[in-house]
């Protein structure tokens, strides 16, 4: 969990943070489809899930390959979650990108002190998240483990301050994506006025 402190990018980006099944991936897809804000394709060493595509959902690599990329200085940040490595490569830090991060990855991006990076914490009840994970075919035992681990990993104390908090319950994915886009544009306008 190291960070390349010398990295500074000055690129307007959306950061989505949230526990498992808060809608991050689907919202990132809608931001791309509806608003042209492409999802940064991050790297992971976790196994590919049914329906996912390499180079679309993630760059799926072995743990050895992930370590090599990190040691060669090609990653902005690196974190471990449920025993697998995740990270955003430098090549994915571009204007109008959306990146999904856990709290430690979020803190690495915060350290860039880039006013164009706008962060959104997505929330949902454990009951809703459990239902979403089971409906997408996740193993029931792993669902309970993820819920348990997420309680600590995504506590407000671990996350810290984000620009916005959005409760994803009772809203459609389209409504959430629209709300994020509007707030992102307003935040960028405020930065330009400084």
Number of domains in the chain: 2
Which residues of the chain are under the pLDDT cut of 50?
1-9
CATH code of the domain containing 87: 3.30.63.10
Alpha carbon distance 59, 48 (integer Å): 10
Q: What is the pLDDT of residues 145-176, one digit of tens each?
A: 999 999 999 999 999 999 999 999 989 999 99
What is the DSSP secondary structure assignment for residue 163, as one 8-state letter? S
In a domain, 5, yes or no: no
What pLDDT does residue 71 have?
95
Whether 132 and 171 share a structural domain: yes
In a domain, 4, yes or no: no
Whether 50 and 144 share a structural domain: no
Per the CB < 8 A criterion, the answer to whether 22 and 123 are in contact is yes
Alpha carbon distance 1, 78 (integer Å): 5
Measuring CA to CA, how many Å separate 59 from each of 45, 113, 114, 146, 191? 9, 27, 25, 22, 32
In a domain, 177, yes or no: yes
In a domain, 183, yes or no: yes
In a domain, 25, yes or no: yes
Measuring CA to CA, how many Å separate 2 from each of 71, 80, 167, 188? 11, 11, 30, 28
Full domain range(s) for residue 165:
10-40+95-194
In a domain, 28, yes or no: yes
């Amino acid at each position: 969990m190291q960070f390349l402190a010398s990295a500074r990018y000055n690129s307007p980006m959306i950061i989505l943070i949230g526990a498992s099944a808060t809608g991050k991936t689907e919202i990132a897809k809608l931001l791309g489809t509806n608003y042209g804000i492409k999802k940064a394709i991050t790297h992971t060493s976790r196994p590919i899930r049914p329906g996912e595509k390499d180079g679309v959902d993630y760059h799926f690599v072995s743990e050895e390959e992930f370590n090599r990329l990190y040691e060669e200085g090609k990653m902005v940040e690196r974190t471990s979650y449920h025993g697998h490595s995740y990270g955003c490569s430098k090549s994915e830090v571009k204007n109008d990108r959306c990146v999904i991060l856990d709290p430690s990855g979020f803190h690495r991006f915060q350290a860039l002190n880039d006013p164009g990076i706008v962060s959104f914490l997505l929330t949902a009840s454990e009951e809703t998240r459990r239902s979403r994970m089971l409906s997408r075919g996740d193993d029931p035992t792993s669902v309970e483990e993820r819920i348990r681990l997420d309680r600590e990993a995504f506590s407000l104390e671990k996350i810290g301050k984000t620009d916005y908090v959005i409760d994803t319950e009772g809203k459609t994915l389209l409504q959430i994506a629209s709300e994020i886009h509007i707030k992102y544009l307003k935040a960028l306008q405020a930065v330009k006025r400084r």
